Amino acid sequence: MPWKVTDVMEERIRFVRQVLRGQESMSKLCRQFGISRSTGYVWWNRYRGERTVGALQDRCRRPHCSPHQTPEVVEKRVVQLRHRYGWGGKKLLVLLKQEGLHLSLPTVNRIIRRQGLVRTRASHRPAVKRFERQAPNELWQMDFKGPYRGQGKPCIPLSILDDHSRYAVGLYALQDLDTEGVLASVRRSFQHYGLPQAVLMDHGVPWWSNTNGHGLTRFAVHLIEQGIHLIYGSVAHPQTQGKVERFHRTLAEAVYHRGRPRQIHQWRQFLEHFRQEYNFLRPHEALKMAVPASRYQPSPRAYNPRPQPWDYPSTIQTKRLSQHGCLHHAGRYYFVCEALGRRRVGIEPFDDKLLVRYRQMYIREINLQTRQTRALVCRVQT
């Protein structure tokens, strides 16, 4: 039976006071207060045992122990891994299993929520369909992230990602987009991992030139001379480079979780540590929770610092471009590519046009009727 509708604590104190007076039996007092004898004895025994009014307060009904509760040491390990990496439950579950701790995903997520370790972030629609190359080094994706501001010049991370394995073959802390600095970083990846068959880039600096009629840059020419096919993503469609964009989101989460470095030497240490963790430790959902290193192997094609001159087929007419990258044909000069100044190119007639190729790629289309030229970047079919 319930207590009368008054202040519950006040009723319990009055009840105990009446019992202490000893003027009425327990049965009569319980009837007066509208409670059962068992309830009356509960509160009288509780007061008699502790001799304090505080014993009459409501107590937590949570059991003192729960056979299904996650052991404290295991919960602490989940919290430690969450603090260290900032990853979600699926990825933490893989690490816990490697340590012999077999929990369910809902349990790990409950621990994260209970400890207040959930942060709100923008949701992203999952990819409807994933596309990837069949083997490592068939395609590398290359792009910049940032810039991140700090002391002195900003840090602009350069990311190079293998399309098949998601393995980060390069992650460099740059301070500007100078061609020589970018090329030096890319060479390091080439020297360590070999050459890819193709590279996917956007239409930004230093991959693409927006001056002098558009077209290739000295950086792009260097890749062609290594026998690498160039692929440029669609303008204003970053999803073309979805894998490197997703890599950058993971990098941004790590920067947020661990704190942003302030100086360039700190950035270099941070990025290399992140690259190793991403390649060898962090499970990847697109790889069925395997790590990228498990699916990657270096390319058998070695970097050549001094590529040999290109042998064009005997059926192809060749001409040397001017210092400024112009082609002299039929008494006129046509712009081709400034980055190819004084290099020999191949000329192929096509309808009322000329297709200009450099090594294994077409690079320019010249309309002989309108005298207009248009940049091309496509592979020569052999």
Q: What's the pLDDT at 122?
A: 41
Check whether residue 34 and residue 93 sit in a common domain.
no
Q: Using the 8-state DSSP alphabet, how is residue 226 labeled?
A: T
Q: Is 205 found in the same domain as 171? A: yes
Q: Based on the fold, state whether residues 146 and 274 are members of the same structural domain.
A: yes
* Cα distance from N-terminal residue to C-terminal residue, the chain: 93
Asked if residue 304 belongs to a domain, the reply is no
DSSP tag of 148: B
Residue 239 pLDDT greater than 60, yes or no: no
**Does residue 174 lie in a domain region?**
yes
In a domain, residue 300? The reply is: no
Average pLDDT, the chain: 84
pLDDT-based confidence at residue 129 (cuts at 50, 70, 90): very low
pLDDT, tens digit, 9 for 90 and up, residues 345-361: 999 998 888 999 999 98
pLDDT at 52 exceeding the cut of 80: no
> Domain range for residue 349?
317-379
Provide the angle, in degrees to the nearest 10, between the axes of the packed helices 72-85 and 105-114. 80
pLDDT for 152 beyond 90? no
92 pLDDT exceeds 90? Answer: no
Domain count across the chain:
4
Q: Is residue 273 located within the same domain as residue 341?
A: no
Q: Is the pLDDT of residue 13 over 50?
A: yes
Mean pLDDT computed over 120-143: 69
Higher-scoring residue by pLDDT: 338, 127: 338
Residue 167 and residue 263 in one domain: yes
Query: 136-160: buried (b, 16+ CB within 10 Å) or exposed (e) per residue?
Result: bbebbbbbbbbebeeeeeebbbbbb
Strand, helix or coil at 375? strand
Q: Is residue 280 part of a domain?
A: yes
Q: What is the pLDDT of residues 192-235, one digit of tens each?
A: 999 999 999 988 888 887 654 567 899 999 999 999 999 887 65
Q: What are 284-337's pLDDT values in tens digits?
A: 888 888 999 999 999 999 999 999 989 999 999 999 999 999 999 999 999 999
User: Would you say residue 205 lies in a domain?
Assistant: yes
Give residue 71's pLDDT: 77
Q: Please say if the pLDDT value at position 368 is more than 50.
A: yes
Give, in order, the Cα–Cα distances in Å from 65 to each of 61, 70, 72, 167.
11, 11, 12, 46
Q: Say what percent of the chain tops pLDDT 90.
A: 40
Shared domain check, 215 and 158 = yes
Q: pLDDT at residue 179 above 70?
A: yes
Q: Are residues 212 and 262 in the same domain?
A: yes
**Is 308 within a domain?**
no
CATH number at residue 214: 3.30.420.10
Q: What is the pLDDT of residue 332?
A: 93
Do 39 and 30 meet the contact criterion of CB atoms below 8 Å apart?
Answer: yes
Give the model's pLDDT for residue 226.
Answer: 95
Going by pLDDT thresholds of 50, 70 and 90, the confidence category of residue 127 is: very low
| In the predicted structure, residue 65 carries a pLDDT above the cut 60 | no
Q: Which of 218, 199, 198 is nearest to 208 (CA)?
A: 218
pLDDT the model gives residue 144? 92
Is 50 a domain residue?
Answer: yes
Assess if residue 131 is contained within a domain: no
